[in-house]
Amino acid sequence: GAVVSQHPSRVICKSGTSVKIECRSLDFQATTMFWYRQFPKQSLMLMATSNEGSKATYEQGVEKDKFLINHASLTLSTLTVTSAHPEDSSFYICSAFPMTGGYGYTFGSGTRLTVV
């Protein structure tokens, strides 16, 4: 079945530094990947839609200069949290949609970011 690998699973960084999170589709190609943020005991909130070869589409209220998204290939999208602050600490999850279509959105296992 479709597998999405997300790395790292956990990261701790200092305030002011940047962190890159990778999302890879292992056995399928994805023109579209989605990035979500989830706070404890809350639902997933879509941050942006990552489109291969073009600019990401950000949801209202999400700072595109702070959350940089790059979708350089059909199997890899990256989310970089720039100049991280403690309020950026959260669980970030990606999902990928196969090029071949269908309705299945496969999610990565998430990245727990802690900014100290």
Q: List residues binding another protein (CB under 8 A).
A: 4, 6, 30-32, 34, 41-46, 49, 51, 59-60, 91, 93, 95, 97-99, 101-110, 112
Tell the smallest beta-carbon distance from residue 19 to another protein (Å).
18
Whether residue 8 is preceded by a cis peptide bond, meaning omega within 30 degrees of 0, is: yes
Instruction: Decide whether 38 or 82 has the Cβ nearer to another protein.
Output: 38
Tell the smallest beta-carbon distance from residue 116 to another protein (Å).
19
Q: What is the CA radius of gyration of the chain?
A: 13
Instruction: Decide whether 51 or 82 has the Cβ nearer to another protein.
Output: 51
Tell the smallest beta-carbon distance from residue 16 to another protein (Å).
26
| Spatial CB neighbours of 15, under 8 Å, sequence gap ≥ 6 | 84, 85, 86, 115, 116
Assign 3-class secondary structure to 61-95: CCCCCCEEEEEEECCEEEEEECCCCHHHCEEEEEE
* CB distance 46 to 56 below 8 Å: no
Instruction: Decide whether 19 or 30 has the Cβ nearer to another protein.
Output: 30
Instruction: Decide whether 66 or 112 has the Cβ nearer to another protein.
Output: 112
